[in-house]
């Protein structure tokens, strides 16, 4: 149990560091920003307690709020995703899946995992940009930012997952 929580802590730190030091510096055409820290929530196993997912996600979002200077936006949006993650994973996992299954290309299959990851990213980004804009004054900018950030984040996470899978096969 302690090892699992330590792994979660280290995984959260890695996602937070990548987001803060790499991805937050990317602004394609003034609209798209890859928000890859949401993948932290996507990789929780099927049998992980819902309260644990919510707490870990809130802490991760709080770190993002502090370092990205978006008070409440990241923690609110990533906690919403954490609330939906177990339901999405149960619906998309095979009926005979092991209780401790971790979502990946290998366990869910290519199409199902990519759909799962895309839904996680889309829900997070929609909530993130809705909370960030919080007005109707610049809806066009918010819609373009949200859509382009979804695409950029998904493509980044897709590339990372392919790299992880290829690296795992090579070992």
Sign of the Cα torsion 161, 166, 169, 171 reads negative
Give 58-66's long-range contacts (Cβ < 8 A, gap of 24+): 58/82, 59/12, 60/12, 60/15, 60/16, 63/12, 63/16, 64/16, 64/19, 64/20, 64/37
Q: What is the pLDDT of residues 142-168, one digit of tens each?
A: 889 999 999 999 999 999 888 877 766
> For the chain, which residues make up each domain, given as ranges?
2-170
User: The pTM is what?
Assistant: 0.91
Distance of CA 168 to the CA centre of its chain: 21
Nearest residue to 128 via CA among 13, 32, 50: 32
Q: What pLDDT, on a 0 to 100 scale, did the predictor assign at position 95? A: 86
Q: The dihedral of CA 18, 152, 161, 166: what is its sign? A: negative
Task: Tokens for 66, please give them.
Answer: 């502090």
Q: Record the tokens describing residue 47, joined without a space.
A: 């049998």
pLDDT for position 36: 95
Q: Which residues of the chain have pLDDT under 70?
A: 135-136, 167-171
The pLDDT value recorded for residue 163 is: 84
CA 51 to chain centre: 17
Closest alpha carbon to 121 in 54, 23, 36: 36
């Amino acid at each position: 149990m302690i090892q699992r929580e330590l792994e979660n802590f280290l995984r959260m730190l890695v996602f937070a560091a990548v987001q803060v030091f790499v991805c937050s510096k990317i602004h394609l055409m003034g609209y798209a920003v890859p928000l890859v820290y949401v993948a932290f929530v996507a990789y929780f196993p099927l049998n992980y307690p819902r309260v644990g997912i919510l707490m870990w996600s809130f802490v991760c979002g709080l770190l993002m709020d502090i370092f990205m200077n978006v008070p409440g936006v990241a923690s609110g949006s990533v906690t919403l995703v954490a609330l939906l993650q177990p339901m999405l994973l149960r619906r998309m996992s095979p009926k005979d899946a092991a209780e401790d299954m971790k979502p990946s290309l290998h366990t869910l299959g290519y199409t199902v995992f990519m759909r799962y990851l895309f839904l996680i990213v889309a829900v997070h980004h929609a909530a993130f940009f809705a909370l960030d804009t919080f007005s109707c004054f610049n809806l066009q900018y918010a819609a373009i930012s949200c859509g382009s950030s979804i695409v950029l984040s998904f493509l980044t996470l897709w590339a990372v997952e392919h790299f992880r899978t290829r690296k795992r096969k090579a070992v």
